[in-house]
Chains A and B, each alone.
Chain A
Amino acid sequence: MSVTESDRLKEQEEREDAGAPRDSTADEAELHRVLSETWGTKPGFWGWITTVDHKLIGRRYIATTFFFLFLAGLAAMVMRAQLAQPEGQVVGPDLYNQLFTMHGTTMMFLFAVSVMEAVAVFIIPLVMGTRNIAFPRLNAFSYWVFLFGGVMVWGAFFLNIGPDVGWFAYVPLSGPEFSPGKRADFWAQMITFTEVAALAVAVELIVTILKQRAPGMTLDRIPLFAWAMLVTAFMVMFAMPSVMVGSSMLIMDRLVGTHFFNPAEGGDVLLWQHLFWFFGHPEVYIIFVPASGMISVMLPAFTRRPVFGHLALVLSVISIGILSFGLWVHHMFVTALPQLGESFFTASSMLIAIPNGIQIFCWVATIVSGKPRYATPMLFIIGFIITFVIGGLTGVMVASVPLDTQVHDSYFVVAHFHYVLIGGAVFPLLGAVYYWFPKFTGRMMSERLGRWNFWLAFLGFNAAFFPMHLLGLWGMPRRIYTYQPELNWGDMNLFVSLAAVVVFASFALFLWNVLYSLRHGEPAGDNPWDADTLEWATSSPPPAYNFAHIPVVTAREPLWAERRALPVAVGLRTDMRELVITSVTEARPELRESSPDPSIWPLISAIALTGLFIGSIFTPWAVVYGSIPLTIALTAWFWPKGDKEDEA
């Protein structure tokens, strides 16, 4: 740290609270004791529900999203059993429709977006070299809201009021006339829950990445995973409100009889599709961009070199973030929009292949010019590159209008987006779990099981989803609960269903590996992969305060540049929660900021909000009466406590 920066901290110290205990002491053991007391979470149930530690909440978040992943996977297995033969009798149309709706909804809203944010909640503050995420209570609130929303929609499913209108819930099918009862309302309200949770995390990530970086981590030294999460967070902020507006309009149409989507009274059924896909297409990139960040941050550790083309990768991620908002109409090519508009969206859909291609080439160049070590995460990266390139190529194909009118809503598209989402996001994610598991838990995952896991997942996935391209070209539409034997789709569907069992087995193996390694995994050191980013500069798992001293960054790969010991910044108080706020571009220390203590109010606010949201499925008055407990909870949350925390 340069002299001026130290001076600046010192200056503030002298001005405000001279004499308070600080982390400049040389006694590491004493420092650990004091910091653990200040930052620690109380043991027991009370501590568990009040904690604001980003690591505890992040772990919880990740576990919850994987729980939903397994539920959605089970739904997929039932669907594959039904489709394994023509005129299957496993489930009827009603249950099948609920199953594919729950599968899509859960995968998109309760798993894919959330798990990426959950990993970021755990990892980003560590990568940034700070002690907690920005707005940690909002973080706790976000988790509870997410949990309650997910439990609500799955609870509804088990009570036979689960949504049955598809994850896209097109009106008028999801509207008041054609979806009797409350099924579609549960879907729409689930959107509201998860979007509130996602927006909260997006705000936290943006502030953490822009204002809480370790001193010296200038913009060009930000690790690529953080860049990816920054772009993702901005995309969440701009995309999610669109679908929240849509789902609120849907609920109002259904509950209080507004006419947003009623063509007879001047509404428009296509309005829903625009609102939905204006969110829905960026959504795909909200899932993919964090995964690409994971790849970029894992590659150096396994190729023993800095990632090739750092600047190009950053620019690609940013341009993907911007371009992704200009493609939504390619989901609506068959709704007879003006042809000029269709051409524009064809062009923009093809354009986004360019930054994606740049990323792929940078990664390939990194691997080729490095000394690759094929540990499980690296296997998943290779699997990702192969699968994602196939998915990307079919993506360019469906961007073309004449081809899209044939394959739209057929199994070709099912194959395409599973290649993009599983190949492009779930493979990197599984690799990232193997990679960061030591940081999450302090133990390594089994490498032997990991290899089995990868090969089962990779081969099973391709066997299950590649034939779907053919089924689509043979004319099999999506979302059908059965088909007739004369159509000759039976053999291929049986093959797909059998391969799907392999995919499911690979995920079961993954779960087993996690549970086994949690108990019996090899203890990991601070930096088992010899990686270069700051999260590996602290112990595994990290202590409650993350870093005994805030590290100072001098290079893009801080842990490789300073092999012996990281330079550190000192001067933070130890008797209260404090972190360093740095400037946006150059990450110069600006001030010490206090960070909130554990609190029960995020949970109570989330419960109050849940009451309001679920109540408003049944009566509009829930918004009025439900806002009373919510107001009380939020007021209590922000009520000045008259202690040091108020300085925050």
Chain B
Amino acid sequence: MTLQVTGHQWWWEITYQDPSPERVLRTANEIHIPTGRPVRLVLNSTDVIHSMWVPNLFGKRDLLPGLQTVIDFQADKPGVYRGQCAEFCGLQHARMGFLVVAEPPEAFDAWRLAQLRAAEAPKEPERQRGEQVFLRSSCIMCHQVRGTPSAGRVGPELTHLATRQFIAAGTLPMNRGNLAGWITDPQSIKPGANMPMTQIPPRDLQDLVSYLEGLR
């Protein structure tokens, strides 16, 4: 199985390659792999040099702009492994973590199928309002939720955001409070990160967070 990993300041973009284009899956900061199968990570960087390191699975390999490097590895035991950028890459080098989630092949296949689906249209009125907030505010300049008109590609893909365990590249556990804090003032959590501070009225923020929390 081949995954494309692209380093960004300061998050990881992961693309599951597939011969048929509709099965190509783009996600961020959380790599799911099946256990007991060899996996190849093809590494590249869009900005500076990063280095991929999961101490319990494999040693470091640099992500170099203009060059392609690979990591071949296999996870034998299911589990969640933490990884981190190991090459100094600027202001937020310290907060550029990610997770490798190794799960049995069946669970992995189910996960992959679920991730390939576009986001469901929200049913609750609160989440419907939240979607509207998402679509008319600055979020969509950088982010994408498949199934909506949003198409930003420079930030992490959000279609199944709520299935991930962390936000902001392994920085904050995924929950309502952290989401709201991250949206309003990312610069006090991760100074220098490319996510700007956003001014959203409290009511709208509540709806937006509800919407994001439902992106499963």
Contacts and interface: CB of A to CB of B under 8 A. Distances in A.
Contacts of B93: 477, 479-481
Given A178-B48, A406-B55, A482 B61 contact: no
Most buried by B among A173, A263, A404: A173
A166 to B, nearest CB: 5
A93 B66 CA distance: 27
Contacts of A478: 86, 88
A477 B66 contact: no
A619 interface: no
Interface string B14-49: 000000000000000000000000000000000111
Interface in B64-114: 64-67, 69-70, 82, 84-95
Interface string A378-416: 000000000000000000000000101110111000000
Interface string A461-481: 000000000000011011111
A475 B86 CA distance: 10
Q: Chain A contact residues: over half helix, strand or loop, or mixed?
A: loop
A79 to B, nearest CB: 12
Q: Chain B contact residues: over half helix, strand or loop, or mixed?
A: loop
B51 interface: yes
Interface in A247-279: 263-264, 268-270
Contact of B48 (A94, A172, A479, A480): A172
B134 interface: no
A93 B60 CA distance: 23
Contact of B94 (A93, A170, A177, A334): A93
B168 to A, nearest CB: 11
A93 B96 CA distance: 13
A263 B66 CA distance: 5
B157 interface: no
Nearest to A334: B60
A268 B64 CA distance: 10
A94 B91 contact: yes
B59 interface: yes
B177 interface: no
A336 B69 contact: yes
B191 interface: yes
Nearest to A482: B94
A480 B85 CA distance: 10
Given A172-B47, A334-B61, A335-B62, A409 B87 contact: yes
Contact of A406 (B49, B59, B67, B192): B59
Contacts of B60: 334, 405-406, 408-409
Contacts of B70: 336
Contact of B88 (A170, A404, A475, A484): A170
A408 B70 CA distance: 17
A269 B66 contact: yes
A94 B70 CA distance: 31
B67 A270 contact: yes
A92 B191 contact: yes
12 contacts: A97-B91, A173-B49, A173-B88, A178-B48, A178-B90, A269-B67, A334-B86, A405-B58, A406-B59, A477-B93, A481-B93, A483-B94
6 A-B pairs with least C-beta separation:
A263-B66, A405-B59, A480-B94, A336-B69, A173-B48, A475-B55
